[in-house]
Amino acid sequence: MHNILELRKSREAEIRTESMQLLDQVESEQQRIADDIEHVLVALTEMGIGQLSPAACQDTLLRIKAKFPSYLAVSVSNRSGTIWCSTEPQARGFSVADRSYWQEALATGEQTNGATLTSRTTGRPSIPFALAYKDENGVPTGVVAVLLDTTWLTLFLREKNLPDDAEVVIADRSGIVLAHQPEMPDTVGKPLHTPYRALLDRGERRVVEEPGPDGRMRITAVSPLAAGVPNLYVHVSLDKDESMRPVNAAARRTLVIFAGLFLFAGLTAGWSLWRFLRAHELARSNALRMAAVLGSTVDGVIELDRDWRFTYLNDKAVSLVAQGRDLRGQSLWDAFPELVDTPLWHQAHQAMAEQMPTDAEFQGARTGRWFWMRAFPNADGMSVYLLDITRRRQAEDDLRKSKDRLSLALESAMAGSFDWNLTTGRGHWSEETFRIFGLDPAVHEATSAVWRSVVHPDDFDIATLRAQTEMLAERRAYIRLEYRIIQPGGAVRWVSSIGRVSYGPDACRCISAA
């Protein structure tokens, strides 16, 4: 009984951890897109988009649009708020002077992102990001804006391999739901469920237990407005009863087994005490093992004996792995000869020999599906648990493609970007940044020392030591530098860099474009 209680506590802790991990994935994707949008805004304003003719500007944005995800729209407006250039041609001539994000960007000259609004071209909820472009005297003369259509949220969540009982909700700072997964159209555009509205302005991420709209208790990981991406509230919740169902079922089976053992002992008093104790211990061990198996959220369960013969496959394993065949009694390696002498074959034999658990990700040669495998050797053979991760692998591949498209957008703007830790002097440069400096990324590192080596001696104090000292002393949010460099071939080039600076307790970090 003590072990069952411990198993329940362990499973509850796993549910809380799982909900927080899912929340981390959603927030990480949000932050990645926000950072990429910031790089695009900096690149467009620094390339002089505001000084181009309408035709040249439109041609530039349409070329960039071909490399953008469909949920991003870019527009350029003049000082009076009239859009004169846009990736959405129907937006030209519209006025955005009444938009608060446009007013703030023009007044401050710094990047802003506003509350969710309704796009005047698509009619869908969108999140605005904006940065003013300036004339030769540094005076803001217009605004470049990027609208992030909230359909990206639904597309992203649809690709995640979420548990069946999971719910993901994203809302704006007014508590209005922007996206809901699984899709529930009657909730989008409506206020958050009452217990969650009280969590909007809480200052830190947390895990809570609250009843959902259907009255069922849910374990929910919450990221309030101030904790994650600005102006967005996110929560991921799991149905507690559904998540605990396998453990509860295993506990009931365990109690039935114990009761049956005691009844059996009473009816067979002639049996010797040692046989009863042996049977009792064996049943108890099997019951706890089954509870642990059922407590794992897996798709396939397979049992093998010491000779690698199949002794048990659950229904999902028969469908996903055996493809409907009855493999009981057959050898794993006879049924799947393509696995012999593969890394998976050697890993399984090593685990069996050392009696140590092992795990791996692999693609089925016959089905083409990806699986995560966890194997536990035991005295009778091996227990194998499989989880179908095909959708997750596809989502990772789609995410990589999305990042490649945004990188191509920066390249088309002829700008480079870099992320720099000013405390350690190390960071990350894009390939275009290496090209601007005339350096080879395969040979040179992205460090302060390498950068200083190409700065013109006459601009050394302005571009490096003095600028950094003034910035740190004044704790500036943004920094802009203009200086000359000498490329390895001797060519002298002027470089303009603009960046956003963030300050932490142990480091100072600068994200810039050049």
Beta bridge partners of 509: 421, 502
Query: What's the topology of domain 47-152?
Result: Beta-Lactamase (3.30.450)
Task: Please name the residues in contact with 42: beta carbons below 8 A apart, sequence gap of 6 or more.
Answer: 111, 131, 415, 417, 498, 499, 512, 513
Pair of tokens at residue 183: 């899709």
For residue 81, the model assigns a pLDDT of: 94
For residue 366, the model assigns a pLDDT of: 81
Q: Are 327 and 303 in contact (CB under 8 A)?
A: no
Edge-to-edge strand list for the sheet holding 370-378? 310-313, 300-305, 381-388, 370-378, 358-363
Q: What is the DSSP-derived secondary structure letter of residue 331?
A: B
> Pick from 104, 235, 89: which is nearest to 168 by CA?
235
For residue 26, the model assigns a pLDDT of: 79
The domain made up of 416-513 is a member of CATH 3.30.450.20: yes
Model pLDDT for residues 318-331, shown as the tens digit of each residue: 888 888 888 899 99
At which residue do the structure tokens 């229904």 appear?
Answer: 315
What is the rounded distance in angstroms from the CA atom of residue 243 to the CA atom of residue 157? 20
For residue 177, the model assigns a pLDDT of: 85
Question: Quick check: do 298-409 and 416-513 share a fold?
Answer: yes
Q: Are 40 and 409 in contact (CB under 8 A)?
A: yes
What's the CA dihedral at 440, 443, 445, 449 to 10 degrees?
A: -90
pTM of the model: 0.45
Model pLDDT for residues 145-183, shown as the tens digit of each residue: 999 887 777 777 677 667 777 888 888 878 888 878 777
What's the CA dihedral at 457, 460, 462, 467 to 10 degrees?
A: 170
Which parts of the chain register pLDDT below 50? 283, 287-288, 290-297
Q: Are 128 and 101 in contact (CB under 8 A)?
A: yes
Query: Where are the chain's structural domains?
Result: 47-152, 298-409, 416-513
By the 10 Å C-beta count (0-12 exposed, 13-18 middle, 19+ buried), 91 is classed as buried
For residue 510, the model assigns a pLDDT of: 54
Q: Which segments of 268-331 does DSSP mark as H helices, in order?
A: 273-294, 315-320
At which residue do the structure tokens 């927030």 appear?
Answer: 27
For residue 426, the model assigns a pLDDT of: 84
> Pick from 510, 500, 497: which is nearest to 43 by CA?
497
* Burial annotation 127-137 (CB, 10 A radius, 16+ → b, else e): bbbbbbbbeee
Please give the full DSSP string across 445-489, using - where no structure is assigned: -SBHHHHHHHB-GGGHIIIIIHHHHHHHHHT-SEEEEEEEEE-TT
What's the CA dihedral at 289, 293, 295, 301 to 10 degrees?
A: -170
Task: Please name the residues in contact with 336: beta carbons below 8 A apart, sequence gap of 6 or more.
Answer: none
Pair of tokens at residue 23: 């929340």
Model pLDDT for residues 189-238, shown as the tens digit of each residue: 889 888 888 888 877 888 888 888 888 888 888 888 877 766 788 888 88
Pair of tokens at residue 414: 């002829």
What is the rounded distance in angstroms from the CA atom of residue 465 to the CA atom of residue 473? 12
Output phi, psi for 207, to 5 deg: -115, 125
Query: What's the topology of domain 298-409?
Result: Beta-Lactamase (3.30.450)
